[in-house]
Amino acid sequence: MTRTTMLTMFAAIALVATACGASTNDSATEDTATDATSSSAASPSTTLTAESTSSTLPAGPSALDDPTSADFPEPLVPLDEIISGGPPPDGIPPIEDPVFLAVADNLEILDPAEPVVALEIDGDARAYPIRAMIWHEIVNDTVGGVPVSVTYCPLCNSAVTYRREINGVETTFGTSGSLFASALVMYDRATESMWTHFDGKAVVGVLTGTQLEAIGSPLMAWGDFTTAYPEGQVLDWTATGFNRDYGRNPYEGYDDDTTQPFLFRGALDDRGLAKQRVVGIAVNDQAVAYDLNALSDGEASATNIVVGDQDLVIFWKAGQASALDEGILEDGRDVGSVGVFSRIVDGQSLTFDADGDRFVDEETGSVWLISGEATSGPLEGTRLDRVEHLDTFWFSWSTYQPDTTLIEG
């Protein structure tokens, strides 16, 4: 049996194990059982249904029940490429009522290298540890007054946050149990249309063609998050209502660029290895993917670039463990953390260099963190405008951005 086959089998087993994990209390057990037996089961916290929002959102059949319905617009992806990943809808249960802890009181709660999804809206900064996201994939939350769904797909190693409002109607998102191009397919609980995780677009159902608003939420090492956001909050994974082996990676060995993605259908772009790590950036209809090896250099690196006529910089610094490498998350190999920002400050384009594990702009000599905040110098307190990017595998980025340029070291 080849290593590729073994990894594929293990991934399938991991997905089923995720769906079938025991809950920490009877009520959670009941909720999970309901989700596993009904394709349209919604969380008890869900307040919207297709019927209750029919005056704003179109009503129609559920794409979970019948994706081939003649009542739907033409699907945006081939239906035969949306395939079961193993669990039923919400078999991988989203976190619906997240509980948070103050970062300042819990600095030692995680190893500094453990990865988190970092989200900051209007001064409200929150860390969503991958040790929780890898088992739940979606957190429905409200951050800085904005209703959001924070999503993480372990099979494509990408974190994306979306505003969970559709045509002004607030809803929540669940896991459909299906995959497209080896990536999470979500569904909204207002109409039960199906959405691709990677680009936030409804691809099957009454909302086909609708686009969600994305909000930048990069992967970041816990140690970097605590430095950048000491007044922030961190998701309490002990208060999810579910019993999972938080801290263990159920996809051990998946971060191996010599192997193929799980249940991928379609053609792979052979310009790079399928599971080669890239930093994907799309601005003004121009898409580029930087091989992580082209960016990583010692303690830190700053790569000044122009994409879509925009002056940008890619910060990279060491210290983040791969969540998909070893059996214990914090033991994963060091892949570092990435931030992508506009270089324009007060109308001036800055040029950045790395200095140790921080960054310095040549024009003012100010010192900057991986989060894009200046901590000393004339620009102290200034925050660079974050540009949405994806830390992901090449097969995912090239599937959704087929015209992308690949830049390798």
What is the three-class DSSP state of 201?
A: strand
Kindly tell me the sign of the dihedral angle through the C-alpha atoms of 155, 142, 201, 386.
negative
Lookup: tokens for 129 = 């540890």
Query: Minimal CA–CA distance to 240: which of 35, 12, 27, 11?
Result: 27
Output the pLDDT for position 237: 98
Output the pLDDT for position 256: 96
Residues of the chain with pLDDT under 50: 1-55
Please check whether residue 345 is in contact with residue 335, taking contact to mean a CB–CB distance below 8 angstroms.
Answer: no
Please check whether residue 381 is in contact with residue 266, taking contact to mean a CB–CB distance below 8 angstroms.
Answer: no
d(CA 189, CA 174): 7
Q: For residue range 62-97, list pLDDT tens digits in order.
A: 999 999 999 999 999 999 999 999 999 999 999 999
Q: How far is CA 228 from the centre of its chain?
A: 20
What is the three-class DSSP state of 167?
A: coil
Output the pLDDT for position 299: 86
CA distances from 221 to 108, 204, 331, 371 (A): 13, 35, 13, 11
Is pTM beyond 0.85 here? yes
At residue 73's C-alpha, the angle toward residues 69 and 76, to 5°, is: 105
Output the pLDDT for position 26: 33
Q: For residue range 327-358, list pLDDT tens digits in order.
A: 999 999 999 999 999 999 999 999 999 999 99
Enumerate domains of the chain plus CATH numbers.
Answer: 3-239 (no CATH), 277-407 (2.102.10)
Output the pLDDT for position 36: 30
Q: Tell me the helices (H) and strands (E) count for the chain, helix number first.
A: 6, 29
Structural element, H or E, at residue 313: strand 310-317
Q: For residue range 185-233, list pLDDT tens digits in order.
A: 999 999 999 999 999 999 999 999 999 999 999 999 999 999 999 999 9
Residue 250 Ramachandran class (φ > 0 left, ψ -120 to 50 alpha, else beta): alpha
Output the pLDDT for position 61: 96
Query: Minimal CA–CA distance to 404: which of 313, 278, 301?
Result: 278
Q: Where are the alpha helices (DSSP H) in 98-195?
A: 130-136
